[in-house]
Amino acid sequence: MKDNRLKGIIALAVVTIIAFGVIYGSKILVKDEAANDSDKEQIVEDLPGAIDVADSEGIVSAREITDDSGAVTAYSVVSEARGFAPKPITWEIVFENDAKTIREVKVVSHAETPGYGANMEEASYLDKYKGISATETSEIDGISGATVTTDAIRLLVNNAYEFISSYAGN
């Protein structure tokens, strides 16, 4: 009987040590992630043509893209929205200088489900946005089996359009 109690005490001690290790490890990861976020903010502020995005919902960063003479040739907006996964979907949307027509979209980050929402990374899906007015994105077919992800993508594109069209005076 004493042998069983000793085994139980040892098992409990091992589980306790592992639990503390997991908690400590997760605190380290969160601390590093917070440090990375502050590094990103510094990089965004240093971008040429950076636009102030303070108090803009869903907008991570924005900037004017200019030619050698300083004329605006395009606008880049990094926008995010919550999809199916806990981590937000983040895209960079590059608008033509009219601040309406989408030149290009790029997936910056996401944690959506492979085979469903992660299909947003496919060139065939991203290419559907090229050359269309940001007001027409609701006409693009959604990702099959990923309604929440599709809604998030539409929201982040719409937020980017609203922000940049307001900035450009449209």
Question: Does residue 80 carry a pLDDT above 80?
Answer: yes
Both ends of the chain: CA-CA distance in Å? Answer: 81
- Average pLDDT on 24-33 reads 58
What is the C-alpha separation between 35 and 159, in angstroms, rounded?
26
Across the range 133-149, mean pLDDT stands at 80
Q: State residue 113's pLDDT score.
A: 82
The per-residue pLDDT for range 148-165, each reduced to its tens digit, is 888 999 999 999 999 999
Q: Using an 8 Å Cβ cutoff, are 91 and 158 in contact?
A: no
pLDDT of residue 115 exceeding 90: no
Indicate whether 58 pLDDT > 50.
Answer: yes
Going by C-beta distance under 8 Å and a sequence separation of 6 or more, which residues neighbour residue 53? 59, 60, 61, 62, 163
User: What mean pLDDT comes out for the span 128-148?
Assistant: 83
Quote the pLDDT of residue 55: 86
pLDDT at 148: 87
C-alpha to C-alpha distances, 4 to 1, 8, 9, nearest whole angstrom? 5, 6, 9
Is pTM beyond 0.75? Reply is: no
pLDDT at 46 over 70: no
Q: Which residue did the predictor score with more confidence, 17 or 43?
A: 17
pLDDT value of residue 45: 55
From 37-51, 90-104, 153-167, the region with the lowest mean pLDDT:
37-51
Percent of the chain whose pLDDT exceeds 70: 82
